[in-house]
Chain A
Amino acid sequence: MARYGMVIDLRSCVGCQACSAACSIENQTPYWSDKWRTKVKDIQVGHYPNTARHFVPTICMHCKEPACMAVCPTKATFKNDEGFVLVNYDTCLGCKACMAACPYGARYVYSKEDVRKAQEIYGDSAQHNKVHIDKCTFCQDRIARGMEPACVTTCPTASRIVGDLDDPNSEVAKDVATGLAKPLRPDLDTEPRVYYIY
């Protein structure tokens, strides 16, 4: 079974936020409340005249050792057979312990107001009918259909690539193996499956 991972190249990200929009359309995330499964952080560093601007897209890292899963009281956060970290909307308690535990700020509350608004907008095709903690699913349904996640497909600069981390011939595996792509916060031992080139 493929062990999918993602590499995000920050050198080419232009901060257009097309990934956020595509994700929101695909997964009906509550953009009206400014909640996103993938966010593009615009950070400015340095002091004049030595300043720089960087765009850093963040998503759930689908860690091998997810801090969010350990703290979940109902085991609503779980890993599926492919190792993706997912949330069972039916048993989620909404305690937000996973939000506090996640070092990558990848989670948010799909609140009662958001559910109401989603049903108003999407009607019978609404994907979120219950209050729950929401996060990136790595577009499970698209992966199952042999497609790439929406954020990857839509990226105009191809800054995001997806592939099998266990396949030494995949571009993703090569970037990781050569050390070009690195995980964020390796000190936390969460072993993310999303890597960054910067």
Chain B
Amino acid sequence: MAKPMQLERQEAFEWPVAVYIFFGGFGGALITLSYIFNFFKATGSMVGLAALSGLVFFAIAGLFLVFFDLERPINAIYSLNNVSKSGISWDIVLIVLNYVFGILFVIPEFANISALSGLASALAPYQVIFGAIAAIAGFMFPIISGGLLSAPASIPLWHTPALPLLYLVTSFSLAIAFIGAVFGPEGAVYTAFMGAILALTAITFGISLAYLEHTHNGPIEAKEGMHRMLKTARFVILYPIVGVLFPLVLSAYLFFSGASITWAMPALAIALFFGGFAARNCVVNNGIETYPWPY
């Protein structure tokens, strides 16, 4: 007698978790990049605005977590209780570190604002340290928040190290395209940006293939989750086509030909934005688990 498993969609996480993971990773990547730019003595406006926008996106992530996901956000004060094991504890610690040190890092960049000049000069000697802490926290955020999904063994579609890695790489490719779209770099900097987007998108492509392999050869729940995702037009259009193949082809063309197209960077940013969000939202939505039937 055939004894099929009963597959059900998980009931724990909904779309606000996807928004939180997406904007948190994006914001964290922007703050990390702003520190790298600062390290390489990039222009003040690029460093300051990248870090500021990172903080804004981080705020969006935090607000979604607090108002749409946590049932009792005030109890986040207890979250230091289990830092050694809980991904959510780490997320909350990273958000706080990123915010506090991100603000301390960015203030010296706005020394020309008279109200901030005194504070900016006082913080300036420590900017590198503040920036380093914020950058490490920003870098870690997509990994740890991806780990939030990949931790439960009961949901095999999520239970793979490919997810944190995918979220890390896509956060950085989006952040680079976003900075490129806002500041419109030229010449060698433009080529470097395009090369970075190409490299990260190529890695994204590779991880996506590995993820597909994991679901194809993995447990039935993972296969079913991927099957449901691939039946969703929104996912198929937004992630593999718009979010991976389009940026891969465009950035490869511009990098290897040395050409420069005005609309390319904003187009890449938009494509990576929607692709990145689809990669998170559809994965969250299609987490399939099996009730552990003995039959």
Query: Given A47-B2, A72-B82 in contact, is the A100-B152 Cβ separation under 8 Å?
Result: yes
Q: 1/0 per residue A92-114: CB within 8 Å of B?
A: 11111101111111001101100
Closest to B73 in A: A93
Partner of A45, one of B4, B89, B291: B4
Supply 8 A–B pairs (Cβ within 8 Å), ascending by A. A73-B76, A74-B75, A102-B154, A105-B289, A131-B72, A133-B71, A182-B294, A184-B294
B:84-108 near A, CB below 8 Å: 85-89, 92
Residues on A with C-beta less than 8 A from B79 are 73-74, 93
Whether B85 contacts A70 by the Cβ 8 Å rule is: yes
Shortest Cβ gap from B14 to chain A (Å): 9
- Which residues of A are interface residues toward B (Cβ below 8 A)? 10, 41, 43, 45-47, 50-52, 54, 56, 58, 67, 70-76, 91-97, 99-105, 108-109, 111-112, 130-133, 182, 184-185, 188, 196, 198
Majority-rule SS of A interface residues:
mixed
Shortest Cβ gap from B266 to chain A (Å): 36
Residues on B with C-beta less than 8 A from A54 are 293, 295
- Which residues of B are interface residues toward A (Cβ below 8 A)? 1-4, 6, 8, 10-13, 69-73, 75-76, 78-79, 81-82, 85-89, 92, 148-149, 151-155, 287, 289, 291-295
Partner of B3, one of A46, A58, A105, A109: A46
Whether B293 contacts A100 by the Cβ 8 Å rule is: no
Majority-rule SS of B interface residues:
loop
Whether B12 contacts A56 by the Cβ 8 Å rule is: no
Residues on A with C-beta less than 8 A from B1 are 45-46, 50-52
Residues on B with C-beta less than 8 A from A93 are 70-73, 75-76, 78-79, 88
Most chain B CB within a 10 A radius of its CB, from A52, A99, A108, A111? A99
Shortest Cβ gap from A132 to chain B (Å): 7
Query: Given A72-B82, A100-B152 in contact, is the A94-B72 Cβ separation under 8 Å?
Result: yes
Whether B71 contacts A109 by the Cβ 8 Å rule is: yes
Query: Given A45-B1, A71-B86, A74-B79 in contact, is the A95-B69 Cβ separation under 8 Å?
Result: yes
Most chain B CB within a 10 A radius of its CB, from A70, A108, A133, A182? A70
Query: Given A92-B75, A93-B79 in contact, is the A73-B89 Cβ separation under 8 Å?
Result: yes
Whether A101 contacts B89 by the Cβ 8 Å rule is: no
